[in-house]
Amino acid sequence: MRLSFWQTLVDSMKKKLLSWKGKWLSFGGRITLLNSVLTSLPVFLLSVFLAPKSVVRTMEKIRRDFLWGGCEESRKVHWVSWEMVCKDRHEGGLGVKSIRTFNLSLLGKWWGKLAKGEVGLWSRLIKEKYGVGNENWMSWVKDGRGEGSSWWKDVCRIDVLGENRNGWLSNGFEIILGDGEEVSFWWDSWCEEGVLAHRFPRLYMLSAGMDYKIKQMGVWIEDKWSWTLPWRRLLLDRESQAVEELKKVLESTKLYQGRKDKWVWKFSMDGCYTTRSCYSNLTVTQMKSHKYVFGRVWNPNAPTKVCGFNWQLLLNRVPTKTNLFKRGIIKDPAEVMCCLCQEHVEDCDHLFITCKVTVEIWNRCFNCVQTDEDWLGDGVVSSGMDYMAHSK
């Protein structure tokens, strides 16, 4: 795929944005646009081709600049990292789609098609060209790296491109055993112990059926499956012990005569691959405790720009004097005192909660609406700051 080809895409994205004159839009308006217009533009291309890194970088830069300052050329402060912006709202982000991750999830659909065993022309072609013997699709896709057309190579290698998550795609598929005809006994990850050749390397070396399918590792006696594991020589005591262990693993396996093995995608209800389930699996983090806090920020009854501001506030990413000083926009440390009381350093907690002027404002507000609620909850601003501290 030539760069000039992608350039058309980059240009059209830029043009679309310029026409919106971002600087006249509120922060909320820009978020909405980023999600609707920008992401819908390149979907077709992204679902067929792997975008080169440089193209992704350029597109993300256009979007980033748009979010933080419209399309003006002047340099704007990007208050929150793009990585954070691309997280789900409950995870502390804005739910803006990351092009790279989106691209990978869209391409994963080709794996999904193979897993489903679709019988269309496309899968027949791929199978003819790359399928070896009666191996299952997973082995040819995994071995497909470095062979075939550049498109096929890309589809095969997306599995190793997830950030710090090699195997993010292949690990998402699992086998539901039927009669074991298509599943490699030693090399497919079909039981809880994972790949048996890794779990029992010594036994694998001794096996007389290193490339056997599960179906070849036993026989049906009437309707009961019985394992017969062939070895190249008589086993030593120590090895027999390992065999006992292996047999324990096999004990819980259930095979079904005459039923085909089936591949399913672990992250969707019906076992079929979907871009959405893949994307959310790739972007999810383990920050459950903060879901509550961030979940409250995006109140559907409040204007998006208000929610957006609260979000920035929670992350301690608003232009308080302390933050401006940290970024070198205010140069003199003497200038960071609170603009309301002049008595304390101006940071988020002070300016929005503890400053004596602020407290007075809050009190008047609460007198107006007459609420006894513990309005500070569990100190939302501070939790947001904790969040940032721990995620760095």
**What's at 213, amino acid-wise?**
K
Which DSSP symbol is given to 268?
S
For 375, phi then psi, to 5°, come to -65, -20
For the CB of residue 317, give the shortest distance to Zn ion in the complex, in Å.
20
8 A C-beta contact, residue 126 and residue 87 = no
CA 90 to chain centre: 14
368, 369, 372, 374 alpha-carbon torsion, rounded to 10°: -100
340 binds Zn ion (CB under 5 A): yes
Select from 74-82, 274-282, 320-328, 341-349 the region that touches Zn ion (CB under 5 A): 341-349
**Least distance to Zn ion from the beta carbon of 355, Å?**
3
Check: CB of residue 96 under 8 Å from CB of residue 86: yes
Which token pair is 38? 């920008």
CB of 344 to Zn ion, least distance (A): 5
Report the nearest approach of Zn ion to the CB of residue 350 (Å): 6
Closest CB to Zn ion among 4 and 342? 342
The least distance separating Zn ion from the CB of residue 102, rounded to whole angstroms, comes to 43
- Please say which residue, 91 or 346, places its beta carbon nearer to Zn ion: 346
Binding mask 290-329 for Zn ion (x = CB under 5 A): ----------------------------------------
Least separation, in Å, of the C-beta of 342 and Zn ion?
Answer: 7
Interface region with Zn ion, contact rule CB under 5 A, candidates 56-64, 72-80, 253-261, 333-341: 333-341
Residue 292, Cβ neighbours under 10 Å: how many?
13
Would you say 105 or 320 has its CB closer to Zn ion? 320
**Piece of the chain touching Zn ion by CB under 5 A; list 54-62, 182-190, 309-317, 337-345:** 337-345
Stretch that binds Zn ion, among 25-33, 78-86, 280-288, 331-339 (CB under 5 A): 331-339
Q: How far is the CB of 352 from Zn ion (least distance, A)?
A: 10
- In terms of CB distance, is 181 or 349 closer to Zn ion? 349
Report the residue from 51, 56, 355, 381 that binds Zn ion according to the rule CB under 5 A: 355
Per DSSP, the residues of 59-117 read HHHHHHHHHHHTT-SS-----S-HHHHTS-GGGTS--PPPHHHHHHHHHHHHHHHHHHT
| Binding of Zn ion by 160 (CB under 5 A) | no
Tokens 């929610």 — which residue?
307
Least distance in angstroms from the C-beta of 347 to Zn ion = 10
Total of residues contacting Zn ion (CB under 5 A): 5
Sole binder of Zn ion in the list 1, 341, 345, 353 (CB under 5 A): 341
Nearer to Zn ion, 48 or 340 (CB): 340
What distance in Å separates the CA atoms of residue 160 and residue 183, rounded to the nearest whole number? Answer: 22
**Contacts of 169-173 spanning 24+ positions with Cβ under 8 A:** 169/104, 169/108, 169/111, 169/278, 170/111, 170/138, 170/141, 170/142, 172/108, 172/265, 172/266, 172/267, 172/273, 172/278, 172/281, 173/111, 173/115, 173/138, 173/263, 173/264, 173/265, 173/266
- Please state, in angstroms and as integers, the Cα–Cα distance from residue 202 to each residue in 209, 258, 361, 363, following that order: 13, 32, 73, 73
Name the segment binding Zn ion (CB under 5 A); options: 28-36, 69-77, 191-199, 348-356.
Answer: 348-356
* Using rule CB under 5 A, residue 338 touches Zn ion: yes
Contact footprint for Zn ion (CB under 5 A): 338, 340-341, 344, 355
